[in-house]
Amino acid sequence: MRLALAVAAAALLAACSPPNPTAWTGYAEAEPVYIAPPVSGRLATLPVRAGEAVAAGQPLFELDATPELAADAEAAARALGAQAQARDADKGRRAPELAVTRAQLEQARAAERLAGLDLARQQQLMAQGFVAQARVDDAAAARAQAQARVAELEAALQVGRLPARDDARSAARALAEAAESSRVQTAWRVEQKRQTAPMPARVQDVFLRPGEWVAAGQPVLALLPPAHRKARFYVPQSAVGGLKLDAPVQLRCDGCGAAIPARISFIAAGPEYTPPVIYSNQQRDKLVFLVEARPVKAEDAERLHPGQPLDVSK
């Protein structure tokens, strides 16, 4: 009888004892990563669904890239044309064209020799008194004309071997570079229409479906990486001074199994008088500080669900 009374008294004292000053209540919260394309388009494929785990680099969705692919083909054709023009500007005239000029030069030289012979003959005849001075003058003019024609074709042959002028060559190269840059831009737009997971995560939510129009910057889905799951809890002002960043804490929740090791990642600089969400039937201090802690291991972070009540202890 005395033993029963002693056990009952111990239980009553335990019930009346103050709560553990190093244990607090809080809740789990998440920081989703919203995946949005930087370009607009129709959502073509969405191979993932909400709740599915994805690996880094795994395809998430793809927009219709038909306009960009057509633009890329056009840009490729323009780039090839501009590059051909640039190469052509660095060359002289074609060999057959130069051959025509050389043949014309040979004809002009033959005509020059003939004109020279005719002038000598006319000068001899004038010395013998058989022709007038006018015939000699005509022969001299014909030879001068033939000489000028030879000089013209020699200059044309020399120019034909030269490339285009420096300004024309620079302009051709600039056009080729501009066409190639346009193709790079188009390729970037095509690449941006295929979005992949930037890190291992779980698909938190899907906002659009295939066939819907996606504006540039509009999120298609939200990812929740393990490192973006955390615990938020409120610590009375009397206990916040004993907490430090990276200090270890233990997280417990209903159905979570063993305690989850975590480390404090944030301590609010200012107090709050009324926590926005608090899972507690008793509140001894009205002046509290917001504290956040993140699980040490990724597999433990997966056990936390946003909005889930937690018990936190040192």
Alpha carbon distance 48, 180 (integer Å): 35
Q: Which of 59-63, 67-71, 90-94, 113-117 has the highest mean pLDDT?
A: 59-63
Q: pLDDT value at position 39?
A: 94
Q: pLDDT value at position 4?
A: 41
Kindly state the tokens that stand for 301: 């972070």
| Between residues 168 and 3, the one the model is more confident about | 168
| Residue reference for tokens 């709560």 | 19
Kindly state the tokens that stand for 116: 């020279």
Q: Residue range 236-261: average pLDDT? A: 91
Alpha carbon distance 116, 121 (integer Å): 9
Alpha carbon distance 228, 298 (integer Å): 10
pLDDT in tens, 23-59: 899 999 999 999 999 999 999 999 999 999 999 999 9
pLDDT in tens, 89-114: 666 666 777 677 788 878 888 888 98
CB neighbours (10 Å) of residue 10?
Answer: 10
Q: pLDDT value at position 10?
A: 37
Is 62 a residue whose pLDDT tops 90?
Answer: yes
Q: Which pTM value belongs to this model? A: 0.62
Strand order in the sheet with 53-54: 33-35, 221-224, 201-206, 53-54
pLDDT in tens, 173-230: 777 787 788 888 888 888 999 999 999 999 999 999 999 999 999 999 999 999 999 9
CB neighbours (10 Å) of residue 94?
Answer: 11
| Between residues 293 and 135, the one the model is more confident about | 293
Q: pLDDT value at position 14?
A: 39
Strands 41-45 vs 59-63: parallel, antiparallel or unpaired = antiparallel
Is 296 a residue whose pLDDT tops 80?
Answer: yes
